[in-house]
């Protein structure tokens, strides 16, 4: 008489794994994207808090450019990630985990509203509606929206919110 040992055969494990991946693959991808979106929002919140601390001590919003040209002699002086490093913001905070690798390699995955550079936050009429940083995918149709058809936006008052791509053009660029 043969006694069957407990456990599963390799064939049984492969069949069950194949069925589960077929059924739940999309769900797992959704969980990954939610984690990336949340990490991106946390990065923006930390950047926003650092900028808010600067402005509370009497400094204006950072003088930085969205993307200083690579050949500019003072590039580092105007690169937002490098400007904020002096405030203790680590460089990895400027990397969105959902951004394409080519953009991540540039060292900043967010568009900075450089029209606000040098302005005082308390001089703006509506800091809660004036955007400061948002996912870089809004600058080109060639880059798909980073987070399920939309992007995260950091406002001058330091709150962060996700918006569908169709609503982004409605944002106020800067005070005139």
118-149 confidence digits (pLDDT tens): 999 999 999 999 999 998 877 766 666 678 77
Distance CA 162, CA 170 (A): 14
Any idea how long the chain is? Answer: 176
Query: What would the pLDDT profile of 26-49 be if each residue is shown by its tens digit?
Result: 555 577 778 888 999 999 999 999
- The yes-or-no verdict on residue 61 having pLDDT over 50 is yes
Beta bridge partners of 153: 134, 161
**Terminal alpha carbon distance of the chain:** 90
Here the tokens at position 43 are 């990065």
Write down the pTM of the prediction: 0.76
Are 158 and 45 in contact, with CB atoms under 8 Å apart? yes
Measuring CA to CA, how many Å separate 4 from each of 9, 10, 14, 30? 11, 15, 20, 40
- DSSP assignment letter at 110: E
- Number of CB atoms found within 10 A of residue 166's CB: 10
Q: Which of the four pLDDT bands, split at 50, 70 and 90, describes residue 170?
A: low
């Amino acid at each position: 008489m043969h006694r069957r040992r407990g456990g599963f055969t390799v064939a049984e494990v492969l069949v069950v794994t194949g069925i589960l991946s077929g059924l739940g693959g999309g769900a797992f991808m959704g969980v990954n994207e939610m984690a990336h979106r949340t990490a991106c929002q946390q990065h923006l919140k930390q950047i926003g808090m650092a900028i808010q601390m600067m402005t509370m001590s009497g400094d204006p919003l950072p003088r930085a450019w969205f993307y200083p040209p690579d050949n500019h002699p003072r590039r580092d002086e105007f690169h937002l990630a490098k400007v904020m490093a002096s405030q203790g913001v680590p460089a990895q905070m400027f990397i969105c985990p959902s951004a394409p690798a080519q953009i991540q390699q540039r060292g900043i995955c967010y568009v900075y509203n450089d029209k606000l550079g040098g302005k005082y936050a308390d001089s703006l009429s509506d800091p809660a509606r004036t955007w400061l940083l948002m996912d870089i995918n809004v600058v080109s149709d060639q880059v798909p929206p980073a987070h399920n058809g939309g992007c995260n936006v950091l406002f001058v008052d330091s709150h962060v919110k996700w918006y569908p791509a169709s609503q982004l053009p409605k944002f106020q660029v800067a005070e005139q």
